[in-house]
Amino acid sequence: MSLVLQGQVGRGEFSREIDAIVQQGEILAIVGANGSGKSTVLQTIAGIAALKSGRLSCDNEVWDEPITKIFTPAQDRHCGVVFQDLRLFPHLSLIANVAYGLRSTEMSKQEAHARAAEELTLVGLDELADRKPGQVSGGERQRAALARALVLRPPVLLLDEPFASVDVSSRKGLRDLLPSLVQGYQGSVVLVSHDPEDVQTLATNILTFG
């Protein structure tokens, strides 16, 4: 899998040019100040925001190209996304949250929950599977959000400040966990962070936004 993004993302004052290629197995870290448009890039790749100009493609399949009016909706891009504010569904249990994307692929409930349970075990949440997001700690919610993104085995994994909402001790555990989860992963990873340690530990390439 290779992701190519060349063009202008965002609107108004948050608009900026970007030229980036993420090859299979690479982890591109985007770093920069608050408001520099890092999250907008991830939203554009995920299909939640549209490119202003240029082209976004994944393995030669064009996802977004304003000039030709090509736009692949978010649900057809099959990206795995960990949002900065996590966005776990508050009324669903952790296992139902993790199984959500799988259920959208018309997988049976049993199979989706079995896969979700495996993923929750990988992130160490197997015993909390039936709890709702409001009933677990910030670090556990973060792990659940990671599991929800990774269970889809997505071609593109997007991590928006994946350790932003956890305390320092949980952050270390998550930082140790992430490389093992991503190991052997066949897709491209885009990581947004303004923590230099996250970037040094995880990234293979770095893109700096001024």
- Could you list the residues that contact another protein (CB under 8 A)? 46-48, 73-76, 78-81, 83, 85, 87, 89-92, 100-101, 103-105, 148, 152
Residues 113 and 97: their CA atoms lie apart, in Å, by 10
Q: Whole-number minimum distance, CB 77 to another protein, in Å? A: 8
Q: Whole-number minimum distance, CB 174 to another protein, in Å? A: 20
- 70 backbone dihedrals φ, ψ, rounded to 5°: -85, 130
Residues 57 and 110: their CA atoms lie apart, in Å, by 34
Q: Whole-number minimum distance, CB 88 to another protein, in Å? A: 8
Q: Which is nearer to another protein, 128 or 145 (CB)?
A: 145
Q: What is the dihedral of CA 9, 11, 14, 17, to 10 degrees?
A: 30
Q: Which is nearer to another protein, 46 or 94 (CB)?
A: 46
Q: Order of strands across the sheet with 70-71? A: 16-22, 3-9, 53-58, 61-65, 70-71
Q: Does residue 181 sit in helix, strand or coil? A: helix
Look at the chain and count its residues.
210
Q: Which is nearer to another protein, 75 or 108 (CB)?
A: 75
Q: Which is nearer to another protein, 47 or 139 (CB)?
A: 47
Which two three-digit tokens encode residue 158?
A: 């997007």
Q: Whole-number minimum distance, CB 82 to another protein, in Å? A: 10
Contacts of 169 (CB under 8 A, 6+ apart): none
Q: Whole-number minimum distance, CB 149 to another protein, in Å? A: 8
Q: Which is nearer to another protein, 134 or 210 (CB)?
A: 134
